[in-house]
Amino acid sequence: MGKKISGVLKRINQYNNNPPKVVLSITNKGEELDIRYGAICVEKEFVDFVQEGDSVFKTSGEKLMRFCKTNGNCRNFELNFCDKFK
């Protein structure tokens, strides 16, 4: 979670509904390889708002990630790993 991100959401795969779990693939500006976040537990609001092609921003060390539409509508979401080192 410590990496600075300024890129585009390339892919979002939802694989559970209760709670929603997603895998995110983000193309970060200036990097060759995509950043992948797996097994993220999110709220329904995240699933309803976030779409492939959204701009994604995160400052280094922050848990909040900002997702923006092409029309300028943006929202911040906290990403939580579902199965974090049990």
* Residue 86 reports pLDDT greater than 50: no
Stretch (H or E) spanning 44? helix 44-49
Q: What is the pLDDT of residue 19?
A: 78
Q: Residues 19-48: what's their mean pLDDT?
A: 89
CB burial class (10 A; 0-12, 13-18, 19+) of residue 62? middle
Stretch (H or E) spanning 68? strand 64-68
Cα(67)–Cα(46) distance, integer angstroms: 10
pLDDT digits (tens, 9 = 90+) for 41-50: 888 899 999 9
Specify the pTM: 0.86
Q: What is the pLDDT of residue 15?
A: 85
| Tally of CB atoms within 10 A around 21 | 18
Which residues make beta-bridge pairs with 26? 9, 35
* Residue 85 reports pLDDT greater than 80: no
